[in-house]
Amino acid sequence: MAAKFRDPFDVLPLEIAVMVLRHLNFKQIVAILRVSKKWAQFLSSIRELWLHMDFSRARSTVSMSAIRSYLRRSKGMLTHATIDHVIPSAMDKVLELLSRCPDLTHLQVAGRYDGDRLYNLFKTSKKLKSLIISSDIPVTRECMVKFLDNLPNLERLEVHQSLRSPDDNHLSSGRLPNLKALALTTPQNDFAVGALELRLPCYDGFQDYNKIRVEPLPNLEELSLRCGAEDVHSGYFVELESLFHPRLRKLSLSYLELIGNMFLPSTLEHLSIQSCKLHDVEDNTVHSYRQLPNLTTLVLDDFAWVTPSRLASLLSPDKSVLRVLEVKNCFKISGSDIARLASGTRALKGVQTLTLEGMYHLDDATVRQLLESMPELRILNIPHTAVSGVTIKSIVDMRVAEKERRQKKRSENSSPQSSDDPQADNDRKPLIEIVNLKGCENVSLDAIEFGRKQGLTIIR
């Protein structure tokens, strides 16, 4: 019987074997080295399997000898490196070896190290396109500007412990046409950061500023600004005007005090605002907000600015491009408000994932209204609400009705009127797949068991 089994690498052509191996991540490739000596020799001989080195999934510290062997297999032509779980004493040598790789395009570093030393090692890595520096490594703004100036092909820069420099007021960078993604995290007792201007609040409020000038980033598509201290009253100010980039698609703001109006770029596709406080200088005027017609993901968490009318002002009433909507702990808006918005416009018709948190009075009737207005909904997160097993029954009934409707439509496919029936869209029901009911005390175990038997994934 054993004679019938053959080594797949003896049977498969080399090209096919390599295609299969490409589907494995770095950790899996390292694991199958131990299958046999023959496999280890075969895998070690294929250089392209070792061009991406990733230690982020390592269960324990990675030895220096292992790192040397991986680099040797790549023949020094490494293109991607994710450094993590490396002992501090070996970090310097590891990074020094990586700095000698001429084709390095992606570098992600986690672990204690010095930001200036990191810059000195990689300032000549001109092919580097992506640099991600963890919060373990403090990087001054002066050092950050040096990275930007000396790595002209850099497309993504993430600095998760951005520190104030003694000479901040004179910092500037040249034009950065290649930078597409910028993520900065400012720790406690430091200054907030913007994109075009890094503005620092004076002690007497935010009427006057010191400014740090950074030239426009014409191709910036993603921007993430976060204050490390989880305190919205800590005095970390960012002026919204400075975030107005012509190609911006993704914007994430966390634990900041925002100054200005929600007049954001219409190009935005992803907007996330968490625990921010807005000082709106033109509140209640039509010019205070801007419609975001391309928005596919909207996350609003602990943001007191949000009201029903303001949420509606951000969404295009005639389009249904929004796919993910998360409204958490925004106490000026309720589930009923969102249900009315969903039934009154097309803005929420295409939502596939809906998350409502902090809406403790959300009940079965309101959820049903939401479901009837969101035919594309697949994932519903409504933890710690007043819903009961009635909601599960409604979801199951709608799933059955939608499946029957689709079956009927398939059987009537030959009918010339079937595809043009205006009533067809109104009759559609959501096929919910996942429901999060954590902390919903009114939902019985019997109702949960019933829902699961009907194919629902229920998180409790």
Encode pLDDT of 108-134 as tens digits. Answer: 999 999 999 999 999 999 999 999 999
**170 pLDDT band (50/70/90 cuts)?**
very low
Residue spans per domain, the chain: 7-50, 291-407+430-459
Q: Which of 197-211, 259-273, 312-326, 366-380 has the lowest mean pLDDT?
A: 197-211
| Residue position matching structure tokens 């249900």 | 339
C-alpha torsion sign, points 123, 128, 133, 139: positive
Q: For residue 195, what pLDDT is reported?
A: 37
Encode pLDDT of 405-446 as tens digits. Answer: 988 888 877 555 544 454 555 678 999 999 999 999 999 999
- The whole-number average pLDDT for the span 190-213 is 38
Beta bridge partners of 200: 210
Encode pLDDT of 320-360 as tens digits. Answer: 899 999 999 999 999 999 999 999 889 999 999 999 999 99
| CA–CA distance, 114 with 91 (Å, rounded to integer) | 10
Q: For residue 189, what pLDDT is reported?
A: 53
Coil/strand/helix, residue 405 = helix
Tokens representing 155 are 């497309």
| CATH code, 291-407+430-459 | 3.80.10.10
| CA–CA distance, 227 with 156 (Å, rounded to integer) | 19
- Predicted TM-score (pTM) of the model is 0.87
341 touches 313 (CB < 8 A): no
**197 pLDDT band (50/70/90 cuts)?**
very low
Residue 300 phi, psi dihedral angles, 5° rounding? -125, 110
Q: For residue 188, what pLDDT is reported?
A: 59
| CA–CA distance, 142 with 140 (Å, rounded to integer) | 5
CA 46 from chain centre, in angstroms, equals 33
- Three-class HEC string of 242-296: HHCCCCCCEEEEECCEEECCECCCCCCCEEEEECCEEECCCCCCHHHECCCCCCC
Encode pLDDT of 371-407 as tens digits. Answer: 999 999 999 999 999 999 999 999 999 999 999 998 8
| CA–CA distance, 173 with 214 (Å, rounded to integer) | 5
- Nearest partner of 370 among 399, 403, 343, judged by Cα: 343
Encode pLDDT of 252-264 as tens digits. Answer: 999 888 888 888 8
- The whole-number average pLDDT for the span 75-97 is 94
- The whole-number average pLDDT for the span 196-216 is 38
- Nearest partner of 245 among 225, 268, 261, 229, judged by Cα: 268
